[in-house]
Amino acid sequence: MFENLQDKLDRAFKVLKGQGSITEINVAETMKEIRKALLDADVNYKTAKSFTDEVKEKALGLNVLTAVSPGQLLTKVMNDELTALMGGEVTELDLKTNPTIILIAGLNGAGKTTFAGKLANHLKSKGKKPLLVAGDMYRPAAVDQLQILGEQIGVPVYANIASKDPVAIAMEGIAEGKKNHNNVIIIDTAGRLAIDEEMMNEIAAVKEHTKPHEILFVVDAMTGQDAVNTAKTFNERLDFTGVVLTKLDGDTRGGAALSIKSVVNKPIKFIGTGEKMEALDVFYPDRMASRILG
């Protein structure tokens, strides 16, 4: 997924190859190339600029202290800075409360319903007893889809196809979960094709009534800079607790992973790497940084 960015970074590093040490001039040149590579990978300008400024300063500062080659030094500094840019540490779900209520939000096609199933599967494998709530009542196919997924992974699904009231469905789902002693209740919600006031009002109302412990914003990594803008709008309205980047298995550019954290200041918690229920990974900033740098 990062071939593009990686090739460009390799080329940028070559500027330094064969040079004995990092100087103000050669590092500035390399940073210019790296900034270009980041912008091409959909990282937004502010993030790319502050990132390269930081790397430059650290590399120059470390230069006198170390005997490693400029390329190695820069790789190490970039790795550390990329990791920090994506949040540094793994951010776990807050599952302390029983039942934990998790709201899933995002645009249509982002992968919400698929992620809801994957998350239930993941939590079940950790010994939790999840319930899925089919809150995407505008898309009857989404209810069917969730029921099929639930059956596949052995997790119950609450649905009420007679209702068009997302708050009522969510509250009924929570009551059902409490009755059956489910300790995690995952509520899928209705998206739209694009940001839409009615959708935002609906999800905000569901949030207000269900008082979720986690609100996970699901976004398609392939949408690049749009992913960052959508994240910003959802966050302003919902103040979500984490991001799920889907479709990182495809031929996507890595910019979204890099900019989202710095733009909305919320951690990426999971990444989706395929359509199957097992294709879910906890997001490790350091692993992602290594993957980007190759």
Bind-site residues: 106-113, 188-192, 246-249
Give the C-alpha separation, 218 to 283, whole Å.
13
Select 78 or 142, whichever has its Cβ closest to ligand GDP.
Answer: 142
Nearest to 186 by CA among 218, 227, 230, 140: 218
Residue 73 C-beta: closest distance to ligand GDP, Å? 35
What residues form the annotated binding site for GTP? Answer: 106-113, 188-192, 246-249
Select 150 or 191, whichever has its Cβ closest to ligand GDP.
Answer: 191
Nearest to 266 by CA among 288, 245, 289, 235: 235
Could you tell me the sign of the dihedral formed by the alpha carbons of 124, 189, 147, 268, in that order? Answer: negative
Residue 196 C-beta: closest distance to ligand GDP, Å? 14
- At residue 106's C-alpha, the angle toward residues 183 and 144, to 5°, is 65
Select 53 or 275, whichever has its Cβ closest to ligand GDP.
Answer: 275
Select 114 or 241, whichever has its Cβ closest to ligand GDP.
Answer: 114
Residue 41 C-beta: closest distance to ligand GDP, Å? 19
* C-alpha 102 chain-centroid distance: 15
Residue 21 C-beta: closest distance to ligand GDP, Å? 43
| Residue of minimal Cβ distance to ligand GDP | 272
Site of interaction with ligand GDP (CB under 6 A) = 106, 108-114, 142, 191, 246-247, 249-250, 272-275, 279
Give the C-alpha separation, 258 to 255, whole Å.
5
